[in-house]
Homo-oligomer: A and B are copies of this chain.
Amino acid sequence: MFESAELGHSIDDDCYKKEVPALREALLDVQFDLAESKAFPVLILIGGVDGAGKGETANLLNEWMDPRLIHTCAFGPATEDEAERPPMWRFWRELPPKGKIGIFFGSWYTAPIVENLKNGKLYKKLDSHINDIVRFERMLTDEGALVIKLWFHLSKKQQKTRIAELEANPKTRWRVTEQDKQHLKHYDEFRTLTGRILRETSTANAPWLVIEGFDPNYRSLTTGKYLLEAIRNRLDSKVPPPRKAAAPALTLMAADGLNVLNALDLGKSLDKNEYEEQLEEYQGKLNLLTRHKKFKELSVIMAFEGVDAAGKGGAIRRVTRAMDARTYSVVPISAPSDEESAQPYLWRFWRQLPRRGRVTIFDRTWYGRVLVERVEGFCSTQDWMRAYAEINDFEEQLVNHDIVLVKFWLHIDKDEQLARFKTRENTAFKRYKITDEDWRNREKWDDYQRAVCDMIDRTSTEQTPWTLVESNDKKYARIKILKTICDQLEHKLNSLK
């Protein structure tokens, strides 16, 4: 991995000075074209050996280009806000929007490197960690991001020399820390480990570029030219390449016509007395659970999806009624804001993740990607096809961070929907609930059903199963939802004891 970066590259000052002005001009041009087009975000990850010029390079890029369009982030120890969310949350919230450049130091590569060096062979998670990174970066590039990964390298001898030089100069001595000296001691170990990580995370869509960092002229010119070419090529190609590739649609309509939705017994119901008794029981139980002493150690996300008019709103109100209003927040999902549109589609959900001891209820969710966006053609086949895996990855991170995720699909049949639409049209205070769009969606009933079946098959995991809710009878549906939430929450709380 590092062979070419230990050759002792260098460029003399005259040559450097001759090349820089044109390079800077071209970099500024490409940066403004990018900003104007708002075509995609550029994310530059910077990593490497101590003393190889990581910080200098970030400074240089800010100097050569327009710093107003660059967002440079250094990630240190997690703040309180960060620690209360899954580890990737801090990176999600700093992602550059389309048209801008983000420079990340200490990105998602820091944790696996540090953990490994600390625990040595005892650390068993490296493979799965690498796998997570590859999948995450794949999602970013599929979403259109240009991900540029720069690794600044020094041979062992060069690093020794560099540290000695810095220490000798009073102006730079502050930059050499005790940690740097420790790192030098473990150089070989570090080289082996990072060599492996770089190799295994160098993918076609997000390859690493290893740059020898000893000679500043060489380092700077190489970096600048690479960036220029990468951004310019991508701008010239207009359409992000991953979106172009065709993929076959899923075809899941079973020959016997049976599917997970029409197999539901929609005749299930509760009478008024049973309903009221159980409503009180489970609302009371939910209330107690949210006041459990261990509740502050976890967070809860409730995801509501369902057929139009299946009763999501009413069900959510029965749930919120059981909780203190200071505990929960209900997030209705409709068209994204312009800040949200400039980011990967999961970004708007990441930004709403609850703190510890809090509940976020999503009324419609990230599954819009494989439902409405698929059926209405708002994204390409390629896009929604990959979304299943992206969503599974997302939810896995939630669950791993002690977030209880409960997902509901509220189902009614076509006749029941028609009856409810008509009631809505005929009742003054319900009329706002029915729009032309609802009638249009109804015409695509079969397409939606097919999308739902695919979704349930592909995103029900052991840890994050879908709960299908027979909702022709609202009372039955509400109780099933409350009971499911109580069961899952109780189960989690018991597991914490």
Contact = CB atoms under 8 A, between A and B. Distances in A.
A332 interface: yes
A68 B316 contact: yes
B68 A332 contact: yes
A337 interface: yes
A109 B460 CA distance: 47
Contact of A325 (B28, B61, B331, B332): B61
B429 A25 contact: yes
A304 B230 CA distance: 32
Of A68, A81, A324, A332, chain B has the most CB atoms within 10 Å of the CB of A68
A390 to B, nearest CB: 24
A233 to B, nearest CB: 20
A316 B36 CA distance: 21
A317 B59 contact: no
A105 B327 CA distance: 12
Contacts of A174: 291
Contacts of A67: 316-317, 320, 325, 328, 330, 361
A361 B66 CA distance: 13
Nearest to A69: B332
Contact of A80 (B63, B79, B313): B79
A350 to B, nearest CB: 16
Interface stretch (A70-78, A160-168, A476-484): A70-78
Interface string A339-372: 1000000000000000000000101000000000
A227 B405 CA distance: 34
A338 interface: yes
A9 to B, nearest CB: 24
A43 to B, nearest CB: 15
Interface in A64-105: 66-74, 79-81, 103, 105
Interface in A103-121: 103, 105
A74 B25 contact: no
A426 to B, nearest CB: 15
B326 A68 contact: no
A133 interface: no
Contacts of A323: 59
**Copies assembled:** 2
Interface of A: 25, 28-29, 32, 36, 55, 58-59, 61-63, 66-74, 79-81, 103, 105, 174, 291, 313, 316-317, 320-321, 323-326, 328-332, 337-339, 361, 363, 429, 432
Nearest to A33: B432
A241 B453 CA distance: 52
A90 to B, nearest CB: 11
A32 B434 CA distance: 13
Contacts of A28: 429
Of A59, A71, A103, chain B has the most CB atoms within 10 Å of the CB of A59
Contact of A59 (B105, B324, B361): B324
Contact of A55 (B71, B73, B325): B325
Given A80-B81, A339-B337, A325 B68 contact: no
A131 to B, nearest CB: 29
A66 B313 contact: yes
6 contacts: A25-B429, A29-B429, A59-B321, A59-B323, A73-B326, A79-B81
Nearest to A70: B330
B325 A72 contact: yes
B71 A329 contact: yes
A323 B63 CA distance: 10
A99 to B, nearest CB: 12
Given A55-B326, A59-B325, A66-B317, 11 more contacts: A28-B429, A29-B432, A62-B325, A63-B321, A66-B313, A67-B320, A68-B332, A72-B325, A337-B338, A337-B339, A338-B339
Given A66-B313, A321-B59, A105 B331 contact: no
Contact of A337 (B313, B330, B337): B337
Of A63, A72, A103, chain B has the most CB atoms within 10 Å of the CB of A72
Nearest to A326: B74
